Structure 1
């Protein structure tokens, strides 16, 4: 596959992933993850944003394997999830500046800038969280699937309770 075709395929995948997260379609979002070993990580604040930084090298805010990610999605998806109660947040994920798209030995790696906005009916203002995301995708049955998603936030501190519940 040519570089531009691969980049377009990745962009389409990112739009789908963001739409599912924004719509709180968490079971469908979880289905975007590959079979086998996976990693969903939110790196430490105030650190270099380096792909491959490991949770055993620094304190990560989130470091989920499949079991923990599935249970996180179950908890967040419940109608009585404390951080999203009494009304679910309105979320928007924006991805921009897709860079370093490479496919090597069946694995697609890239980085993309991220901006997430969150509005809650019971709070004033809008939370805005910028960051960078490093993805590793694989193909399963000709579909792109997430093997790992490593997020580094461009913030000094998290601004409100529940901030991490919607980072999907």
Structure 2
């Protein structure tokens, strides 16, 4: 198996693992509200969808749904997706069918997708229409997402870093 094939297999496995972890962490409160996502990746970190939970609840749900989450309970309302072309939606039949949108909708998250082809942990976009500023590497995009106040950042990709200096890749850490 070539190094590229191994990397693609690893990326696919990481995506599946992230989806399973997100599914396991989701809060199943019986609500059916869903986020509607933007049909194309956004270059800014402003929310590309709005998810407002429904205020209506049946009498039997009222007591439990009005309680505040405990300090140890993870509540995710806004999720940012950072990655390469796969996270941007390559291969999806429509933008609403990309895996990031399906995951956000299933969990009632507001989706912010700043994934771009050509990018990686080290590599920023360099071919038109991308520039290093409009399609930053994952570290720069993650820093901006956290500063924008999202609750969850999901980063997928890495194949675009093939050919980068292995020592630089080994030393990479999110800021």
Query: If the length of structure 2 is used for normalisation, what is the TM-score?
Result: 0.29
The TM-score, its normalising length taken from structure 1, stands at 0.30
Q: Which has the larger radius of gyration?
A: 2
Instruction: Looking at secondary structure, tell me which structure has more strand per residue.
Output: 1
